Amino acid sequence: MNAARLPVLVLSLALWLAWSGCTAGSTPVLASNPTIPESASSAVLRPGDSLTVVLQGIPDPSTNSVQIDDQGLISLPFIGSTKAAEVSTSDLSRAIRAEYLNRRFYTAIDVSVSIAERFIYVGGEVARPGRVVWTPDLTASKAIQAAGGFSLYAKENAVNLTRDSRSYPVDINLAQRRPSEDPRLLPGDSLQVSRSAF
């Protein structure tokens, strides 16, 4: 081999190795977060919703603050438990009115139902696990921030979002980098942050 060509070959080899090392350690193309069906409408009442039920046009009008329990029920004066989940506030108002009239507690009654507060739940490796007040613009990454952010050992790329008894893995790091990958939450959703193995 020509001695004059040796430095050129060594330099070429060094450049190739450096380039190979850079591309081998580069970050792979990120995957997308799953598409989470929005089958449940935010207009439909869900367990955990806090409601204000106003009974008027009767001798003993009242304002009742109630919360829909895990079975989807609320409790009201005289009629007791009433199904409240999976209907709209207007449907629930009509059902309560019909119940009072059919059971002959009153001959006339006006009922109005409004939502006081709605929540989602954040658990696991966050600073403040618990309920977060739902707003129409609440996303998975915003809910984590509202819960105080991740703890030191949180597995940020595998947060479990549960909706309508189905679970979906969500990468919050990806959601923060790409807002289009940050799923919008619905009332009653829950986020569970796992503990990292490291």
Position 133 in a domain: yes
pLDDT in tens, the chain (198 residues): 555 565 555 555 555 544 444 444 433 444 788 777 775 566 789 888 899 999 999 999 999 999 999 899 999 999 999 999 999 999 999 999 999 999 999 999 999 999 988 889 999 999 999 999 999 899 999 999 999 999 999 999 989 999 888 999 999 999 999 999 999 998 889 999 999 876
Position 164 in a domain: yes
Q: Which of 117, 138, 170 is the last residue of a domain?
A: 117
Give the closest residue to 170 by CA, choosing from 142, 191, 146.
191
pLDDT of residue 146: 96
Structure tokens at 6: 């040796």
CATH number at residue 190: 3.10.560.10
Single-letter amino acid, residue 144: I
pLDDT of residue 188: 84
Q: How far apart are CA 36 and CA 126, in angstroms?
A: 22
pLDDT of residue 164: 80
Is residue 29 helix, strand or coil? Answer: coil
- In angstroms and rounded to an integer, the radius of gyration of the C-alpha atoms of the chain is 28
pTM of the entire structure? 0.65
Position 176 in a domain: yes
Say yes or no: 126 and 110 in one domain: no
Position 178 in a domain: yes
Q: How many domains does the chain have?
A: 2
Quick count: other Cβ atoms within 10 Å of Cβ 27? 5
The secondary structure element, H or E, covering residue 95 is: helix 89-102
Domain region containing 104: 50-117
pLDDT of residue 121: 94
Position 36 in a domain: no
